[in-house]
Amino acid sequence: MFHWTYKRLILLASALLFVCIASADPVTLPDNSTTAPLQNAVHGSWRSTAHKARDPYRHPVDTLQFFGIEPGMTVIELAPGDGWYTEILAPFLHAHGHLIEASAPTGAAKIKADSAQYGRIEKVIPFAPPDQVNLGAANSADMVLTFRNTHDWLNNSPATLAAVFKAAFDVLKTGGVFGVTEHRAKPFADAVESAKALHRIPEDYLITLALKTGFRLADVSEINANPKDPEDINVHRLPPNLAGPDNEHARMKAIGESDRMTLRFVKP
């Protein structure tokens, strides 16, 4: 499979680029001790039927375990949108951890207004790149997560996306994880044009940016890959949006949600 070969090449390139830090502490790989609490959160009654219908495409338990989430962590979720992942993260981290939502003013207002759904969030911080990108005190978070957002920041400008990556790096503790999922463009496509026209980014672009920021590439997963996706159509034509003409909906449903990269970066 192409993406598997591509993954191995990227990991090899990352290892060569960062051979100088080979003596750093090894990455702690996730285990399955989190399976039951994550599944409880995913199956929670507070999640809507519409949100649960996306689970087979987004693999939330496997994705969060790949990132290495643990119940006692301080986790920052960037730009939570309508709270698809927030509904899972908040109850999972409620007892021992801390969930911080980095949200634009409209999203923050929604979170504060719905205390029944989002009441387990420790706090909401303003986050509206490029004007507001500070994520908190340096070295204060265990994990920063972003789901299908990076193309929006690149659409603003490459500098905006770079500022978000730098903010994530700064707020993380040593050994902290930056977890990224994003709609995947064809390899080595023009990132700016792909983000603008298709809402996709080539995997190599995000990895290169993360390495330049100072992150180490810990692993690449195909958890959210979709080989049926041709990677050359606007993601909003695919489920769940189906924004294209009615006569293509059946074909788009047969493809499913977009092909997505899932990347785990670590702050050395």
Tally of domains in the chain: 1
**Furthest-apart CA atoms within the chain: distance in Å:** 57
CB 215 within 8 A of CB 169: yes
For residue 194, being part of any structural domain is answered with: yes
Q: What is the pLDDT of residue 113?
A: 75
Q: What is the pLDDT of residue 121?
A: 86
Q: What is the pLDDT of residue 63?
A: 98
For residue 181, being part of any structural domain is answered with: yes
Q: What is the pLDDT of residue 5?
A: 47
By residue range, what is the domain housing residue 203?
Answer: 2-7+50-225
pLDDT digits (tens, 9 = 90+) for 31-48: 568 999 999 999 999 999
- Whole-number Å distance between alpha carbons of 143 and 57: 23
Taking 70 as the pLDDT cut, the residues of the chain under it are: 1-32, 115-119
For residue 118, being part of any structural domain is answered with: yes
For residue 143, being part of any structural domain is answered with: yes
- Whole-number Å distance between alpha carbons of 3 and 204: 12
For residue 121, being part of any structural domain is answered with: yes
For residue 267, being part of any structural domain is answered with: no
CB 64 within 8 A of CB 70: no
For residue 252, being part of any structural domain is answered with: no
Domain of residue 114, CATH code: 3.40.50.150
Please name the amino acid found at residue 168: A
Q: What is the pLDDT of residue 16?
A: 43
For residue 242, being part of any structural domain is answered with: no
pLDDT digits (tens, 9 = 90+) for 68-108: 999 999 999 999 998 999 999 999 999 899 999 999 877 77
CB 65 within 8 A of CB 34: yes
Closest CA to 180 of 205, 159, 197, 198: 205
